[in-house]
Amino acid sequence: MPVSTVIAKVDDEDKRNFSEFCSSVGLSVSSAINIFIKAVLREKRIPFIISQNADPFYFPENQAYVMKSVKELREGKGTLHELIEPEE
């Protein structure tokens, strides 16, 4: 079967990280891209959710909670403190 070359511009760090990931799971970058293409063609859609709200932090209910908390702090309710990072 004849093959074609696909050229895509990718951030250098993303390319390096993607290459490392592919290698860690036993794939070449080319194989991973071919898996993606086959999934798109088989499913007739992008095989994962593409959403502006993919990060749960930005879900409307979470944003409403954050805004409520900010309002309470501005009204003098609650306690402001530094973020405590967990020890590793």
**What does the mean pLDDT of the chain come to?**
89
26 pLDDT tier (thresholds 50, 70, 90): very high
**Longest Cα–Cα distance in the chain:** 70
Instruction: For residues 7-28, give the mean pLDDT.
Output: 95
Residues in the chain, overall count: 88
Range scoring the smallest mean pLDDT among 21-25, 33-37, 48-52: 48-52
Which token pair is 27? 């794939």
pTM of model > 0.75: no
Separation between Cα atoms, residue 28 and residue 40, nearest integer Å: 19
